[in-house]
Amino acid sequence: MELKLEPCTIRDWRKNDAESLAERANNRRRWLNVRDRFPHPYGIADARNFIERATSNQPEKNSCIEIDDSAAGGIGFRLGEDVHKHTAELGYWLAEEFWGKGVMTEAVTALANYCFEKFSLNRIFAGAYANNPASARVLEKSGFVFEGRLRNNVLKDAQILDSLLYAKTK
């Protein structure tokens, strides 16, 4: 997949992305906003392992967000199964140097549209931690609607946090 946007491109991960991925993902502020399976600190071995998994045939599709010919973040989706086969979960992260510039809103909008076109989906959902209003704004600007607050839903950095659930339907 390749989606050319302004100012980024969403494309498949490449082995030569490992260095820029490790550099940009190794950020504690970024880590505070993602799931713990995305480690911190984040080293070159983590980047290589991730790229190996992301380029294999898995039900989750992960893509690179490229800015200025370099990996600047990631965006992906996991297709639902069984009774949830018409849904997908969307997730994303972006290097801190690009926060607040509209990059992620463009990427989330484009990937959601791509998923609705390519797959037989009726719903795409995404979550944000309640202490991350910027992520909630990205989802709202991308056409996702707030569906609810999941109280005391996650444990992140020794804090119990609420999660905010957003969805976009066909």
Output the average pLDDT for the chain. Answer: 95
Neighbour tally for 20: CB within 10 Å: 19
Number of domains in the chain: 1
**Which strands, in side-by-side order, build the sheet including 9-11?**
2-4, 9-11, 60-67, 70-79, 87-94, 123-129, 159-169, 145-156
Read off the pLDDT of each residue in 19-23 and give the average, rounded to a whole number. 97
Kindly report the CATH number assigned to the domain that includes residue 53. Answer: 3.40.630.30
Q: What is the pLDDT of residue 123?
A: 98
6 confidence band (pLDDT: 50, 70, 90): confident
Domain that holds residue 53: 2-121
| pLDDT at 1 (0 to 100) | 85
In a domain, 49, yes or no: yes
Kind and range of the H or E run holding 125: strand 123-129
For residue 71, tell me if it sits in a domain.
Answer: yes
Does residue 73 belong to any structural domain of this protein?
Answer: yes
Residue 63 lies in a domain: yes
Nearest to 17 by CA among 60, 63, 61: 63
Alpha carbon distance 129, 109 (integer Å): 19
pTM of the predicted protein model: 0.94
In a domain, 150, yes or no: no
Question: Is 152 part of any domain?
Answer: no
Nearby residues of 32 by Cβ (< 8 Å), 6 or more positions away:
132, 156, 157
- The reply to whether 163 falls in a domain is no
Neighbours of 115 (CB within 10 A): 17
Give the pLDDT confidence of 43-73 residue by residue, as tens digits: 999 999 999 999 886 667 999 999 999 999 9
Give a yes or no: residue 143 inside a domain: no
